[in-house]
Chains A and B, each alone.
Chain A
């Protein structure tokens, strides 16, 4: 690890959506940090707030959302002044590959021109220089440079996803937020794209947040992962530790529910459903579905604390384990 501080540090992030039926507390205090060249998996089931969290980091939430908390980019809080402090960094320092980005290209504009757009917007390059950069980006993501003048329909799904990644890298960002970048792709193409992301983070020192519901993808791509449940962080640690020594029952159960080609064990689903986020949650949000819930769980919300070196979790079981060792 470098001696420099984290590139991105998110502290106690909250997001509320103002909906016709009331207020929905989608993100309820998320904190994590990310160093240059690091790959962090942000995992959880649908509705757990993983996408909302990263959209909040670059100020791209819809108008009915309110945000609280701090997002430091190289020790400067970019959420502080709202849009005016986020906008200069968006795409330039923190870029994003949106879910389904490969299907979001304008069908009547050449791919190369679309990739040059953010550069012109942020005035990092224009005209011939922008075009040279597009060719450079194409080579970086593994697309033949002679395809710059092609239209999106002339690209396959995997190639369009590569182009979407190239577009995100246009202004040479330090942080790349990738939202389910391989979900709609076939396994073989998925493996190619993941290999590309790993290679980019290593070669460019890019800090990567991989948002996905797919645990095996994170296990094979990221060194660290943060598990979210009901808008909160429940565990954060090295992927090997999360799998071999989980500190939250949800993490263990999620792994046990995931089929593995190489494992023999029967896979088991987790009974019940996540709690509604438009009501206050008392106690641990996972308690009704937990197979190890005990006395404090229904009433006291477990704090998200460090339970081992570089390993944090929000579960009362760790207090018990701690007391036993003391």
Chain B
């Protein structure tokens, strides 16, 4: 749903535009300054909404209310007390983020349209409070106060507000572009597109959602203060549903998940409104028609409609931090051979103990008192007919699904009650049966999602290091993983451009980048051609032998499992049917019956 902007391009553009605009303030008249300030405020609002909608993928429509609450906070403070404007603005930003966090609460539970309805209602409710707030909000006529005084600097109020808005806007875009080009932005996109896999990459989904809402709220609240300061008056109608829809349109028209798109959308919408102000209803028709047109003919937003030159820039943009990472990688991989961890002795405690675990879905016992152990450093196969509970078992181990009863112990620690991202943080990586790459991210960035998680608990002292060096490290780890699975050449492709088999390898690379001690592979060979299966076989062995990672392999291609596994557990109808070495399992009559019928041959051979 979104693409990322090149921070360097954006920032240099910002500096130039900022200087030009600052110079303009000495030539423009009051009306022009006013409109330009409104445009800048709208850009901030579009960016703020884009964080929640474009990057996090949450259809939340309370932004106008948060903007309004910010504006009223500043207005009330300045009307009653001699609060200096910057202080009022800080207060607005804080209030905005607090309210935004409140709005985030339903976002944790509701999906799509229903979140839209809840947040829209919140917005209309806020408007009602502005309207009926008695002497505090001064009702329909609005709350008037003395505009901030800039005479100390020899500036008119409008010029002063223009310059403050310019500074705030520049700071906002700077900060935001930094966030976008970091793991913060990557994680948001991951939650937006593939919320289910986020915990398995060590992302605390709830906390991250809150963080994004906080960022959005700070920006919207702060913009509210600027708006109040510009007008010297706040009235309910500035923050009604219409205002919300306008912000929504800026994001849709400009493009989801793009800062430059937000700028384009805000300028366009504000321009249309100002230009058509004289004709009743016309700006609504124009905006409605252009929004429909964009949805139908350029669903990714106007920003991406530009010339091929822009498109080329776009590719570099989606590399963003990653492109930089590449050069570092080249240097690093030639200089030092990557350090691999030693293979743990096979005599250590089991990597994973599943102890009579059960899970029921409605009337179906998907997993029924299943117990098995996975030795450290081994490859453990988990097989069984369709619907035997293999994938459910993996989901229980990674805490994607909560278990009903039983115990799961990992590296001697009981993880039965841990949340998904904490389990991942213990060093558990996994891939999924259905391909789960984040389509808007490049292959490298997808793998960097895993690397970020690995770095967080790794020995690398990331807290102290700067953003760019953190990004470089993450890109380096990701690139190593990609090279390891043989997909290094595709680092800058979009996830969606790959074939199914390639995506699988990238998923494995992403899981490896988390530096797992235990890797769970869910049907890595499903739907692959025979020679691809050979690649996967070699890869699994390499992961186990070279990296010393314990592997749990769920797979339908029996020969693959029989060849690589040290031990195998066979599930059938949610119960353990058999377990043992491949040889024992192969000769187990119950297993043969389950797979091939009672009178079938002794040696199941699916692929020869």
A binds B: no
List chain B positions with a Cβ less than 8 A from chain A.
Answer: none
